[in-house]
């Protein structure tokens, strides 16, 4: 059994739609705004890495929100600050706390590997009540580039002293899981949205809709 499980954070452990859903954004507007915010957040991370113009993920998150708010025609006083505050304390998906406790009880080492800044991840883990669940929380702050740059995936082996095949990488982002698979990780894609498989340079070992089957899947590796 693989004894190290590495999780992406946003969209995998933490519900990235919650900041828009729980804010004062009108009910008929928040789904589009949440989708725009997430799309621009990822686009800006990729473009900044290609351009060698790195800033931390908190700046990327703010820039993406500004674009999404303008696209939705929203400029109400205090809305931007409210949404950013909510993003710092996103709720975990419902099954996450119990599954992490189960894995730790089985002796599996757990880690986060995320585009999030160190401060963002510390806030998210604490707000979700997940303090003490992870052996490492690895941020791209350490390498100055965003996923899927190989230097990000390298951090797992550097920290744990293991080969890629000794780790199971779990992500809800199709592009991330394909890149992790091509890098050499064992991979589980949490296809929470029921999206088509990305046509990229790798493919996951398995696909699930949530984390509930993860402990059993680990035993097959």
Q: What is the pLDDT of residues 124-177, one digit of tens each?
A: 999 999 999 999 999 999 999 999 999 999 999 999 999 999 999 999 999 999
pTM of the model: 0.97
Q: Which active-site residues does the annotation give? A: 8
Q: What pLDDT shows up at residue 148?
A: 98
Q: What pLDDT shows up at residue 1?
A: 81
Q: What pLDDT shows up at residue 36?
A: 98
Q: What pLDDT shows up at residue 55?
A: 98
Strand partners, 206: 188
Measure the CA–CA gap between 145 and 196, rounded to whole angstroms: 27
Measure the CA–CA gap between 117 and 139, rounded to whole angstroms: 6
Domains of the chain: 4-15+90-218 (3.40.50.1000), 18-87 (1.10.150.240)
Q: Which residues of the chain have pLDDT under 50?
A: none
Q: What pLDDT shows up at residue 38?
A: 98
């Amino acid at each position: 059994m693989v004894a190290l499980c590495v999780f992406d954070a946003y969209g995998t452990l933490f519900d990235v739609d919650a900041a828009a859903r729980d804010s004062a954004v009108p009910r008929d507007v928040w789904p589009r705004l949440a989708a725009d915010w997430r799309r621009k957040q990822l686009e800006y991370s990729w473009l900044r890495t290609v351009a060698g113009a790195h800033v931390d993920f908190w700046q990327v998150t703010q820039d993406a929100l500004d674009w999404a708010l303008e696209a939705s025609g929203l400029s109400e006083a205090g809305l931007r600050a409210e949404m950013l505050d909510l993003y710092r304390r996103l709720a975990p998906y419902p099954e996450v706390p119990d599954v992490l406790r189960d894995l730790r009880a089985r002796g599996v080492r757990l880690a986060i590997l995320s585009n999030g800044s160190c401060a963002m991840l510390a806030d998210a883990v604490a707000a979700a009540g997940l303090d003490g669940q992870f052996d490492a929380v690895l941020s791209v702050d350490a390498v100055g580039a965003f996923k899927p740059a190989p230097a990000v995936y390298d951090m797992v082996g550097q920290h744990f002293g293991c080969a890629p095949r000794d780790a199971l990488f779990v992500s809800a982002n199709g592009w991330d899981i394909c890149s992790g698979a091509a890098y050499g990780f064992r991979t589980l894609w949490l296809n929470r949205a029921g999206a088509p498989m990305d046509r990229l340079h790798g493919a996951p070992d398995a696909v699930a809709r949530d984390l509930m089957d993860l402990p059993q899947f680990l035993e097959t590796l």
